[in-house]
C-alpha cells in the first residue's frame, strides 16, 4: 500500500514595510519648529519695519536739501554736520532740549518716588479702603487725557502754575502715577516678605525697611516702569501745548513743531531731520542701556 504526501502550500510572502508611525513627541517637535520659524520671521519683518525708518532718518540728517529730494535712498556724498549745528543753535533746540531734561527728569523722579511708596503700601498692608484706592489708580489709566485738558487748564491757572516748569512737572507726575502704581503694586507682591519681617525683628522702622531693603530689591521693576514713563513723558505733546505757551519754556516736542512751522517756504528739511534725530537719540540710548533691566522687570513677576 503506497501513501502519497499532500502537497504543501507555498509560504505566504512576507511584506516588508519601512513606514513607522510617527511618535507623538516627534510630531510636537515638528509643529514647534514650524511655529518657531513663523514667529522668528514675524519678528524679523517687524524689526526691519522699525529699524529702516530710523536709519533713513539718521542718514537724511547728514544730507543737504538737494540730496534729500534728488536721491532720498542714497548715502550722503559727505557728512553735513552743519545741519546739526544749525538746528541746535538757530532753531533753539538747545533751549528746548534743556527744558525737556528739566521737566522729564523732575517728573520721573517724583513719579518713581511717590508711585513706589503708594504701591508698597497697597501691596504690603491691609487696611480699610485698600482695594478701593488701588482701583482708583487703575481707573485713572482708562481716563482719556483729552477730557481733562479744559478743567486741567483752569486748575493749573488758578494755582498760578501755568507756563511754568514746575507746574508741568506736577502735571506729568499726576499723569504717570496710575500706571506706575498699577505696575509696582504687582511687582511688590512678588517680593519675599521674610526679608521685611527680619528687618522689623531687628528694629528697623517702616521707612528704613522700605528705602534700604525693599526699594533696592524692586530695582528691576523701577527701571522698567521708569523707562515706560520716560518714553511717554519725553514724547508728550498735548499737555505742554495746552499748559505751556511761553516761548522760552517750550519742550522738545513743541520745538520740533515750531521748527517745522517756521520753515515756511524756505524748506530747511535737513535741519528738521537733524532736530528729529536729536529728539530721538536720548530715548533710543536709554532703552539700549537699560534693555536687560526692562526685560528682567517685566518677567520677574512671572518667574516668581
The three cell numbers locating residue 131? 482695594
Nearest to 253 by CA among 236, 228, 229, 230: 236
Nearest to 84 by CA among 107, 53, 63, 68: 63
Residue-wise DSSP of the chain = ----PPPPPPPPPPPP----PPPHHHHHHHHHHHHHHHHHHHHHHHHHHHHHHHHHHHHHTTS-HHHHHH-TTSPPSS--THHHHHHHHTT-HHHHHHHHHHHHHHHHHHHHHHHHHHHHHHHH---TTHHHHHHHHHHHHTS-HHHHHHHHHHHHHHTT-TT-HHHHHHHHHHHHHHHHHHHHHHHHHHS-HHHHHHHHHTT--HHHHIIIIIHHHTHHHHHHHHHHHHHHHHT--HHHHHH---GGG--HHHHHHHHHHTTTTS--HHHHHHHHHHHHHHHHHHHHHTHHHHHHHHHHHHH-
Residue range 24-70, pLDDT digits in tens: 555 666 666 777 888 888 889 988 898 898 899 889 989 888 888 88
pLDDT at 15 over 80: no
Specify the pLDDT at position 159. Answer: 92
Nearest to 103 by CA among 243, 234, 231: 234
Q: Distance (Å, rounded) from C-alpha 47 to C-alpha 192?
A: 37
The three cell numbers locating residue 182? 498699577
Is residue 146 within 8 Å of residue 180, measured between CB atoms?
no
The class level of CATH for 96-303 reads: mainly alpha
pLDDT at 13 over 60: no
Specify the pLDDT at position 304. Answer: 47
- Helix (H) or strand (E) run with residue 224 in it: helix 219-234
- Residue with more model confidence, 292 or 288: 288
Domain boundaries along the sequence of the chain: 96-303
Residue range 147-198, pLDDT digits in tens: 888 999 999 999 999 999 999 999 999 999 999 999 999 889 888 888 888 8
CB atoms within 10 A of CB 168: 27
pLDDT, mean of residues 249-276: 78
Q: Distance (Å, rounded) from C-alpha 35 to C-alpha 151?
A: 50
The residues, ordered by sequence, that sit 6+ positions from 243 with a Cβ below 8 Å of its Cβ are 152, 153, 156, 162, 163, 167, 168, 171
Q: Distance (Å, rounded) from C-alpha 92 to C-alpha 251?
A: 11
pLDDT at 100 over 90: yes
Is residue 275 within 8 Å of residue 259, measured between CB atoms?
yes
Specify the pLDDT at position 116. Answer: 94
pLDDT at 73 over 80: yes
pLDDT, mean of residues 216-245: 90
Instruction: Sort 128 into a burial class: Cβ within 10 Å, 0-12 / 13-18 / 19+.
Output: exposed
Is residue 187 within 8 Å of residue 226, measured between CB atoms?
no
pLDDT, mean of residues 138-146: 86
The three cell numbers locating residue 80? 553735513
Amino acid at each position: 500500500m503506497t501513501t502519497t504526501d499532500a502537497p504543501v502550500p507555498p509560504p505566504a510572502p512576507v511584506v516588508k514595510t519601512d513606514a513607522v508611525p510617527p511618535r507623538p513627541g516627534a510630531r510636537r517637535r515638528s509643529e514647534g519648529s514650524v511655529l518657531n520659524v513663523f514667529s522668528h520671521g514675524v519678528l524679523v519683518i517687524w524689526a526691519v519695519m522699525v529699524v529702516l525708518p530710523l536709519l533713513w532718518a539718521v542718514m537724511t540728517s547728514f544730507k543737504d536739501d538737494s540730496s534729500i529730494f534728488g536721491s532720498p535712498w542714497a548715502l550722503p556724498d559727505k557728512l553735513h554736520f552743519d545741519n546739526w549745528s544749525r538746528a541746535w543753535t538757530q532753531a533753539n533746540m538747545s533751549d528746548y532740549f534743556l527744558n525737556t531734561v528739566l521737566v522729564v527728569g523732575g517728573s520721573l523722579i517724583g513719579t518713581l518716588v511717590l508711585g513706589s511708596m503708594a504701591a508698597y503700601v497697597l501691596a504690603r498692608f491691609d487696611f480699610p479702603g485698600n482695594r478701593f484706592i488701588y482701583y482708583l489708580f487703575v481707573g485713572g489709566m482708562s481716563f482719556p487725557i483729552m477730557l481733562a485738558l479744559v478743567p486741567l487748564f483752569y486748575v493749573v491757572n488758578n494755582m498760578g502754575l501755568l507756563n511754568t516748569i514746575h507746574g508741568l512737572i506736577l502735571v506729568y507726575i499726576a499723569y504717570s502715577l496710575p500706571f506706575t502704581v498699577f505696575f509696582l503694586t504687582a511687582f511688590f507682591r512678588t517680593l519675599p516678605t521674610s526679608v521685611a519681617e527680619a528687618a522689623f525683628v531687628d528694629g528697623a522702622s517702616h521707612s528704613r525697611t522700605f528705602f534700604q531693603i525693599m526699594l533696592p530689591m524692586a530695582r528691576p521693576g523701577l527701571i522698567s516702569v521708569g523707562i515706560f514713563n520716560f518714553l511717554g513723558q519725553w514724547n508728550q505733546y498735548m499737555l505742554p501745548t495746552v499748559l505751556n505757551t511761553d516761548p522760552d519754556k517750550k519742550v522738545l516736542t513743541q520745538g520740533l513743531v515750531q521748527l517745522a512751522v517756521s520753515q515756511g517756504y524756505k524748506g530747511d528739511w535737513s535741519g528738521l531731520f537733524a532736530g528729529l534725530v536729536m529728539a530721538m537719540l536720548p530715548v533710543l540710548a536709554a532703552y539700549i542701556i537699560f534693555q536687560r533691566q526692562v526685560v528682567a522687570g517685566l518677567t520677574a513677576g512671572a518667574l516668581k
